[in-house]
Structures are given as structure tokens and as C-alpha cells.
Amino acid sequence: MIRPDLIDRFRVPPGRKLRLKNHDPGWAQTKEMKELGKDAIKARAQEVLRVNLAELAQAQELLYANDIYAVLVVFQAMDAAGKDGTIKHVMSGVNPQGCQVFSFKKPSSEDLDHNFLWRYMKALPERGRIGIFNRSYYEDVLVVRVHPEILGQAKLPPGKRNEQFWQDRYDDINSFERHLVRNGTLILKFFLNVSKAEQKRRFLERLDDPEKHWKFSTADLAERGHWSTYMKAYEEALGATSTKWAPWYVIPADHKWVTRAIVADVLTSTIRGLGLRPPRADEEQKKALAAARKKLAAE
């Protein structure tokens, strides 16, 4: 397990400006680990992940048995930061029936005929389930903020698309998430913080390795060209929407195994924090169970 104070250091405190320069994408737990090199980091992180996955499977089963809470896990990141791999590894131990993953691409014309939260609302996890958003309504204050011309497609009422417009969207998101939390959905939001240099390395890997060509998209390269605008949009959006009820975590993403271990750790400890127990039968249910047993035995 990662120490709780370490988990705290990744959480974005509510009501404060976020400075990404204070978050090291290459963080690897301790200086000694770093000096030991990549293999040692990987081995240690894999061990943390292994323990967490077993616990996560248990936590998820309790979630399902209680059927009261849902968990919504949001992933946002620049391209090649490792969202897909993290989702694949962290959820590998969870019962597929207890888990739903949604990947959000560019909105359809039907989506654009509705309010910006609509398509995400339709995909929210049921009670007892873990729902994963691979990209989310945060795209509507990230990619859309970096490319405000996209807003032209959204058929919004007239009005200025100024600071206040984005502030209003943050407010809408905070209220939406508060509503969900009050109704039994736990919300965890992860920003996988990859460095520009590591993204370059991963893009080159995709270009060099024929087996990875399919992962490369020229559109991703175009977005890389807007790196600093994206970072500003992330800083502002995450600072404005990290709340007590739905915190953001900035996860170091230059070492894939570190990313996966931390995400699994935060997820597991949050679900365990609910203190769920296997549901016990009440008196009436016990009577029904006893009657069923009697009936079966008499067959």
C-alpha cells in the first residue's frame, strides 16, 4: 500500500489554484527508488498493484452486494499518457459484471442537440457498479476551451464566450457532481500527468514500431502543438472543480507502473473507506430463508 500521506500529496486541494509545475510527472516514490532505476520502480509498483488488485476485487464485490453506492472514475489526460493501459490493468481483477467503461469521442449531432452534460448522464454507473469514463464532460472545458471554435457546433443560446462562460461550466460540473454524490455515487477523478518529453518518446515509439502504428494519430500530434494552452486549461479546470465531494488527483504518468499502482491504490482505499459489510438478512428475510430451507429439505 502507498502511505496515506502520499495519496494526499496527489489530491488537488479544493478552492486553490493548481500549479502543475509543482507536480513531477516522473515521480517514482522515493529518491532511492529513482536511483535504483526503471526496473526496480517497475517491480515495486507491480507489487503494490498486485496487492491492490486483490483488494479492489473484494471491495467491488461488497459494492455490488450492498447495491447502494456507485463509483464513477474519470480519466483525463493528454494523448499517450496511459489512460487505456491504466484502465486495462487496474480493472483486470474486477468482475466484468461489476464494471462499465465508456470512452467519449467527439459528440454526435444528437449529443449536440442537448445540454453538454446529457451524453455523460446517460452513461452513469448503476448502484453497485464501478463506471469508468475514458474522457468525460471535462473535455467540454478542456479540448473545447483550447479550440473554442468547436463551441460553434453546439447550438448554444447567444452570449459571450468569455471567462464567465467557462466559470459557469465549472459551476455546472460542480453542481452535477454534488448531485451525484448526494445520491450515492462516489466520484474519483484522475489526471494522468505525462511530461511533454515522455509524450514525444511514446509517440516516436508508436512511429518506430509497426505493431504500434495503429496507436498513432496525426491529430494527436496537432494537439501536442497546443501543449501549453492545454496545461493552462487543465490547471484552471482542475483547480476549479476539485471539491471535497469529488476530488481530482494529479497522477505522475511518466512511469506507467507507478501510474497504475497509484490509481489502484486511491480507488481501493476510497471504496474501502465506505466501510461496507456483507449485507445481513433482517428478521423477515431470515424467516423466508428458513422456510426455503425447510421446503428444499422436504423434497
| Interaction site with ligand AMP (CB under 6 A) | 103-107, 135, 139-140, 143-144, 150
Closest CB to ligand AMP among residues 42, 114: 114
* Amino acid occupying residue 182: R
Closest CB to ligand AMP among residues 129, 135: 135
Closest CB to ligand AMP among residues 3, 106: 106
- Distance CA(235)–CA(17), nearest Å, equals 7
Closest CB to ligand AMP among residues 31, 105: 105
Q: Measured from the CB of residue 154, what is the shortest distance to ligand AMP in angstroms?
A: 9
What's the Cα-to-Cα distance from 225 to each of 151, 207, 218, 220, 231, rounded to whole Å?
20, 17, 11, 9, 12
Edge-to-edge order in the sheet of strand 185-193: 99-103, 130-134, 70-77, 185-193, 248-252
Q: Measured from the CB of residue 129, what is the shortest distance to ligand AMP in angstroms?
A: 22
Determine which helix (DSSP H) or strand (DSSP E) holds 133, and give its type and residue range.
strand 130-134
Residue 152: CB atoms within 10 Å? 9
What's the Cα-to-Cα distance from 138 to each of 74, 181, 248, rounded to whole Å?
9, 17, 12
- Distance CA(11)–CA(17), nearest Å, equals 13
Closest CB to ligand AMP among residues 98, 107: 107
CA 46 to chain CA mean position, Å: 20
Closest CB to ligand AMP among residues 139, 198: 139
- Distance CA(71)–CA(125), nearest Å, equals 7
Q: Measured from the CB of residue 10, what is the shortest distance to ligand AMP in angstroms?
A: 23
Q: Measured from the CB of residue 100, what is the shortest distance to ligand AMP in angstroms?
A: 17
Q: Measured from the CB of residue 156, what is the shortest distance to ligand AMP in angstroms?
A: 13
Q: Measured from the CB of residue 261, what is the shortest distance to ligand AMP in angstroms?
A: 23
- 3-state SS of the chain: helix, strand, coil percent to 5? 60, 10, 30
